[in-house]
Copies of this chain bind each other. A is one copy, B any other.
């Protein structure tokens, strides 16, 4: 039997007999890998595990840990779903069933509307099919074979004709007695689909066109292990409870109106959070040598042509006309800051020059993708641009990392991970500058002892960048801070400085937003803390409740003391039970719930209930105030007496 050479991702080479499958090689490498294997990348192409390999090849075994593995796993579950549906509803015609962001779906041509009870039955049948431990088989076929096999399904016939016309190969996958038109690859054994759930039914149209047949779309999610599904469902349940859109409305913090899609209204309480975040960043700016500016929002087309936005970002900008000229609402602050930089001649001794801006930014996102505070059309960023010489890159990046670390670690106590994205294939500038810049970024990260992953080739075309991803309280990951080097924009605007050599050089720019957009950051904070914000951010920091009417005057004295210390305190002196009033204050996520009655008035104290539901009796007012003020000044995440 002739031998072939298989090169693995770590560079090691193994010899196998010709015709071996990737599935067998996986088991040969290790039992665990064999069991986890879903598909394979052979010479750069994704393939089924059961395809014989007949020549020397580079091989990577793909498991559920890989993005491509998850996709194929989900897509295979969609086949499994269709398999169950046609068994239970023979009149339903499978159309297409892709993997999507949240799991997978399959669209069926069927007049009947699936009910929630049907979903339970279908799930049940899927389990039964899986138990049979069906092997999956790939069948390459001619157009006429395909047309014969799928003769009773007009949707598949339409697809077959299309593939034929486009000269694409036609293939199908079979498991048991179910066969589906599919390009593949697929997992070789649907027995690996151990955990899944059908989540909802929705109406859809063939090819998303309302002029075509209406279809029934069934959504689902699947995992290789039951524990993963449970964790996922729990996360979704928890996420729904924390949904900032829901909490924002319930707590009267913020909301949206149809009159202005994607542009949040922050109510008085939400505005307190908004302004507190800006105050916090402003204080840091003062300490860290940033200067704030106030800039226009509308700029003439010519500016956007110079900056490149007209060419690359036009579809995301709101464009209007006045006196025969075109203007666009700014989606980013960078060009405004370059204009300010250029108002006078700058020497290398004037750098770094750091300018910060909270201007409203507008992005013309499709209304379909708008989502609460996390995907908006109008926002403000804690945006700053730093102008530096190439020699200053390392030190200035170090400062920015320090600033970011302060916000994420010391103030918000987030777990975070960092990615360094390097030169992409299409890049601007010269390789030498890029190499130096990437080196400087690495050095700064290492000096700051920050662990980072390199995303090779994923930098922006104008420069390398460092991105921060935080993990929230229920394990979801959010991309937040971004720190980007830019060689391009200063070149386009001819933004220069006079160097020590007395001649002009193009300046280097750092784009950086640490919270990101204030709007999005608030959305994430609300979900992370499930509305129980740190004391310094809480719209109402305290609420004082009376046990009975006669303690109102004492309660008012306590309230005044809090107000004198600049605490935001509300009063609830209604003739309701204390239990009722406490529950309401808790529902309002108020960090310090103070109750006063006979004993408290006599002792000059309050009873305190914190958001973690700890109760402290007979707390001295001055003690509490001192600790609260300190907690706020230090911007602590939690309050402890």
Contact = CB atoms under 8 A, between A and B. Distances in A.
Contacts of A293: 265-268, 271
Given A259-B299, A259-B339, A294 B320 contact: no
B295 A265 contact: yes
Interface in A301-321: 302-303, 318-320
A322 interface: yes
A156 interface: no
A51 B258 CA distance: 65
A284 to B, nearest CB: 15
Contacts of A292: 268, 271, 275
A271 B329 CA distance: 21
Interface stretch (A34-42, A358-366, A584-592): A358-366
Contacts of A98: none
A320 B323 contact: no
A415 to B, nearest CB: 29
Nearest to A279: B279
Interface in A92-107: none
A296 interface: yes
A358 B298 CA distance: 17
Contact of A257 (B275, B297, B339): B339
A378 B343 contact: no
Chain A's interface size range is 35 or more
B265 A340 contact: yes
Contacts of A355: 268
A297 B263 contact: yes
Contacts of A255: 343
A271 B320 CA distance: 28
Nearest to A304: B259
Nearest to A256: B296
Contacts of A343: 255, 267
A554 interface: no
A340 B259 CA distance: 12
A467 to B, nearest CB: 27
A327 B378 CA distance: 13
B303 A259 contact: yes
A634 interface: no
Interface in A103-156: none
Interface centre among A271, A296, A367 (most CB of B within 10 A): A296
A300 interface: yes
Given A340-B265, A360-B360, A366-B323, A270 B299 contact: no
A377 interface: yes
A171 interface: no
A303 B340 CA distance: 36
Interface string A321-343: 01100010100000010011001
Nearest to A323: B367
A6 to B, nearest CB: 52
Contacts of A296: 260, 263-265, 378
A560 to B, nearest CB: 14
Given A268-B355, A340-B267, A260 B294 contact: no
A298 B339 contact: no
A298 B268 contact: no
A158 interface: no
A298 B260 contact: yes
Contacts of A260: 296, 298-300, 303
Interface string A357-384: 0011010101100000000011000000
Nearest to A269: B291
B318 A294 contact: no
A274 interface: yes
Contacts of A261: 300
A297 B262 CA distance: 11
A627 B34 CA distance: 79
A291 B274 CA distance: 13
A267 B295 CA distance: 8
Contacts of A366: 323
Nearest to A337: B265
Contacts of A264: 294, 296
A322 B266 contact: no
12 contacts: A260-B298, A260-B299, A261-B300, A263-B296, A263-B297, A265-B294, A268-B291, A268-B292, A271-B294, A298-B377, A298-B378, A360-B360
Given A265-B296, A271-B292, A298-B362, 6 more contacts: A258-B300, A260-B298, A266-B295, A270-B294, A297-B360, A320-B320
